[in-house]
Amino acid sequence: MREAYTDQLEQLAERLADMTGMVAEAMENATAALLQADLGLAEQVISGDQKVDDVRSSIEEQAYALLALQAPVATDLRTVLAVIHAAESVERMGDLALHVAKAARRRHPSSALPEDVKPYFTEMGRIAVKLATEAAEVIRQKDVERARNLEDEDDAMDDIHRHLFSVIMDKEWQHGVAAAVDVTLLGRFYERYGDHAVSVAKRTVFVVTGRMPGYGGDDDI
């Protein structure tokens, strides 16, 4: 019985890691759709978001069943609770990738981004995918040090996000109000995506150490 219970806990964490990998791929495709005005990729992300939602529902159902039937304590209880909270953050990451894809679709066949800001979003997309990929490995390996290192990557995302405001407020901005609004919203989507990835890693630190580290954010979108 104990071995089966341990297997269920490990399976729960593995499914969360797989879900995190799904939203990494979603953001990678959404970024490509945004930068290349690729309608097919945008539609792929949009249609795939329901699968992310379904996985979260299934993970929560399994987690609540463990709470009800096994009454876990100590580290086991932290694992189940962390998975429930982290799955919510991962679903929001999927929603943010969805928002990026919808922006690409809304402006198609034109690009949602002026050419001179595309390099910033190329880098934000790279960081976002790396954060999600690293978060998935943190879950699998329960690597506290690796989890803490995600904060540095997220700081780089925040720096670009802040810089975008100076770009669109500069007197040299010639792309109009609509483009400025698009850049502002899209920058926010990437910044929040990074925050949620850090939050997922933070939950893993809580499982291992029993303490919630004071970094990152898990606010609402």
Amino acid at 135: A
| Nearest residue to 135 (alpha-carbon basis) of 197, 221, 81, 88 | 197
Provide the pLDDT for residue 221: 40
Provide the pLDDT for residue 53: 97
The domains located in the chain, with CATH, are 2-209 (1.20.58.220)
Separation CA 39–CA 55 (nearest Å): 25
Please say whether the beta carbons of 58 and 83 come within 8 A. no
Separation CA 221–CA 208 (nearest Å): 27
Provide the pLDDT for residue 208: 87
- Would you give per-residue pLDDT tens digits along the chain (221 residues)? 566 778 888 999 999 999 999 999 999 999 999 999 999 999 999 999 999 999 999 999 999 999 888 888 888 999 999 999 999 999 999 999 999 999 999 999 999 999 999 999 999 999 999 999 999 999 999 999 999 899 889 999 999 999 999 999 999 999 999 999 999 999 999 999 999 999 999 998 988 888 777 644 444 44
Q: How far is CA 68 from CA 6, 26, 80, 140, 203, in A?
A: 15, 33, 11, 24, 21
Running DSSP on this structure, what letter comes out for residue 117? Answer: G
**CA gyration radius, the chain:** 18
Separation CA 211–CA 219 (nearest Å): 19
Confidence (pTM): 0.92
